[in-house]
Structure 1
Amino acid sequence: MMDMRDIWIVIIALGIGTFAIRFSFLGLMTGRRFPDWTMRLLRYVPVAVMPGLVAPLVVWPAATDGDFDPARIGAALVALLIGAGTRNTLGAIFGGLATLYLLLWLL
């Protein structure tokens, strides 16, 4: 069984590893220019990451033990519509958040 010291060692080691991986790509490129094709591709990173983070919480919500939840589906649809309509990431996040809490309160 792991004690608290072992847990903190793992947390610190993972933090250092994560920093090293990101620094090796971004920190060592200081003063250099990325090729244009790389810059075009990097613009799509947030669009690719956000659904990967949100989809499991909508499709299999832990709050309902994996049962269908109309509040989360509704909030995801509103966020999708706001994001597609306005192309504003923060607007989509806050719109979905407001819709989720409104639907949870109503249902």
Structure 2
Amino acid sequence: MIDKTTLWLVILALGGGSYLLRFVFIGLVGDRPLPAWLLRHLRYTAVAVLPALIAPMVLWPPATGGQIDLPRLAAALAAIIVAWKTRSVIGSVLAGGGTLYLGLWLAGLNL
């Protein structure tokens, strides 16, 4: 167990760092227009972050001890197909989530 002093120092340091990072964009740059090249690159942030969050859960799921299983692969495939066809983030998330729960239910696994 970590002692309370170290815990509070870490909490305060992380809070201060988070505040400073947001202040740079909101406080210092918030009233100025951003360059076109930066805005162009920021458009792809969500496209890069979402797969980076999802891929490990599909390829090395902790729920199965790191073994790939069919319900998660089917859910990923359903989400990819819906995203490709409709360009809808909400639609792809719902399709992937629904397919995952249906696949787990059909496989008889606990949700």
Change in CA separation of 1:104 and 1:20 when aligned onto 2, cut-off 3 Å: same
- Provide the TM-score with structure 2 as the length reference: 0.84
Change in CA separation of 1:81 and 1:24 when aligned onto 2, cut-off 3 Å: same
Counterpart Cα distance in 2 of 1:8 and 1:78: 44
Of 96-105 and 19-28, deviating more is 19-28
1:15-47: CA deviations, max 9, x gaps? 331332233234421111111121111111100
Residue 18 of structure 1 is matched in structure 2 by 18
Change in CA separation of 1:8 and 1:104 when aligned onto 2, cut-off 3 Å: farther
Residue 37 of structure 2 is matched in structure 1 by 37
Counterpart Cα distance in 2 of 1:94 and 1:9: 40
Q: CA deviation at 1:4?
A: 5.0
Q: CA deviation at 1:8?
A: 4.6
Poorly superposed stretches of 4+, deviation over 4 Å? none
The amino acid across from 1:21 in the alignment is: L
Tell me the C-alpha RMSD between the 2 structures: 1.7
Residue 102 of structure 2 corresponds to residue 102 of structure 1: yes
Residue 76 of structure 2 is matched in structure 1 by 76
Change in CA separation of 1:4 and 1:102 when aligned onto 2, cut-off 3 Å: farther
Identity of aligned residues (%): 48
- Provide the TM-score with structure 1 as the length reference: 0.87
Give the unaligned 5+ runs of structure 2: none
The amino acid across from 2:78 in the alignment is: V
Change in CA separation of 1:97 and 1:15 when aligned onto 2, cut-off 3 Å: farther
Change in CA separation of 1:37 and 1:95 when aligned onto 2, cut-off 3 Å: same
Greater gyration radius:
2
